[in-house]
């Protein structure tokens, strides 16, 4: 069966809890998944480290990466640039890992266009009020930023139906398991197993000829 890694995009409203979900998935299945680390021009939040949450770089450095085609995709999100470095993603996919990009919708659609086999997952809290409460409760953003993230969430809600699966993040453990099962189920899709099907058809023809 399919041994190549699957490229997976995980999007979700800011405050949907997708970051925690990803960390948990990665720590439970470290040999199955690789999480791409994006480059961004935004400043680190308290507790964030260069090379762990993001590569925090200047606008100049970001523009150089664009010019050298070192990003699979990039987008502008609330006044900053965010982009996916190409090298890591290609290396991990070829090693057979399922590679996760945690990116917003504009980037997700660009990736899907460039790589049509990409699996698109959208994480949402059970309802809108919970989303606002999580953003306020995080305590890391100013009210202005929270407002622009809620505005942005309204825009992103319009794009939810471009995704393959919705993942409602009500309970962390259950949600991690659900996500893992969805992704692993994808490996069985016929379009991801063209070589396997070709081989089985050829073998059957051969066996038929031998009878």
Cα angle, residue 176 at apex, residues 151 and 35 outer, rounded to 5°: 75
Q: Is 103 a binder of ligand 5GP (CB under 6 A)?
A: yes
* Cβ nearer to ligand 5GP, comparing 42 with 192: 42
Rounded to 5°, angle at Cα 120 from 116 and 121: 170
CB of 62 to ligand 5GP, least distance (A): 11
Distance CA 22, CA 176 (A): 8
Query: Considering only residues 29, 32, 42, 56, which one is a binding residue for ligand 5GP as defined by CB under 6 A?
Result: 42
Backbone torsions φ then ψ of 45, nearest 5 degrees: -85, 165
Is 62 one of the binding residues for ligand 5GP (CB under 6 A)?
no
Q: Which is nearer to ligand 5GP, 74 or 98 (CB)?
A: 74
Dist CA 73 CA 93 (whole Å): 16
Tell me which stretch binds ligand 5GP (CB under 6 A): 1-9, 25-33, 99-107, 186-194: 99-107
- Residue 203, token pair as written in the block: 């073998």
Sole binder of ligand 5GP in the list 34, 38, 167, 169 (CB under 6 A): 38
What is the smallest separation between the CB atom of 194 and ligand 5GP, expressed in angstroms? 29
Q: CA neighbours within 13 Å on the CB side: how many for 54?
A: 23
4 CB-contact burial (10 Å; exposed 0-12 / middle 13-18 / buried 19+): middle
Q: Does 107 bind ligand 5GP (CB under 6 A)?
A: yes
Does 169 bind ligand 5GP (CB under 6 A)? Our answer is no
Which among 28, 10, 18 is positioned nearest to 169, based on CA atoms? 18
Q: Is 104 in the site for ligand 5GP (CB under 6 A)?
A: yes
- Per CB under 6 A, 77 contacts ligand 5GP: yes
Q: How far is the CB of 58 from ligand 5GP (least distance, A)?
A: 16
Angle at 165 between CA 16 and CA 70, to 5 degrees: 75
Residue nearest to ligand 5GP (CB): 107
Note the residues at the interface with ligand 5GP (CB under 6 A). 14, 38, 42, 73-75, 77, 82-84, 102-104, 106-107
């Amino acid at each position: 069966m399919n041994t190549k890694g699957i490229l997976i995009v995980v999007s979700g409203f800011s405050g949907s809890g997708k970051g925690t979900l990803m960390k948990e998935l990665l720590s439970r299945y470290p040999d199955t998944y690789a999480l791409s680390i994006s480059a961004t021009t935004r400043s680190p939040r308290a507790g964030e480290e260069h090379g762990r949450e993001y590569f925090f770089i200047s606008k100049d450095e970001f523009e150089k990466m664009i010019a050298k085609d070192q990003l699979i995709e990039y987008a502008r999100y609330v006044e900053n640039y965010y982009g996916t470095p190409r090298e890591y993603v290609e290396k991990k996919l070829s090693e057979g890992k399922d590679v996760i990009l945690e990116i917003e919708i504009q980037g997700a659609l660009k990736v899907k266009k460039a790589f049509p086999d990409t699996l698109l997952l959208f994480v949402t809290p059970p309802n809108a009020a919970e989303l606002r409460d999580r953003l306020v409760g995080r305590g890391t953003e100013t009210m202005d930023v929270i407002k622009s993230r809620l505005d942005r969430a309204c825009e992103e809600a319009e794009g939810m139906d471009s995704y393959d699966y919705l993942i409602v993040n009500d309970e962390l453990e259950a949600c991690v398991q659900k996500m893992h099962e969805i992704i692993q189920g994808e490996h069985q899709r016929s379009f991801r197993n063209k070589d396997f099907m070709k081989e089985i058809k050829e073998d059957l023809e051969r066996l038929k000829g031998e009878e």
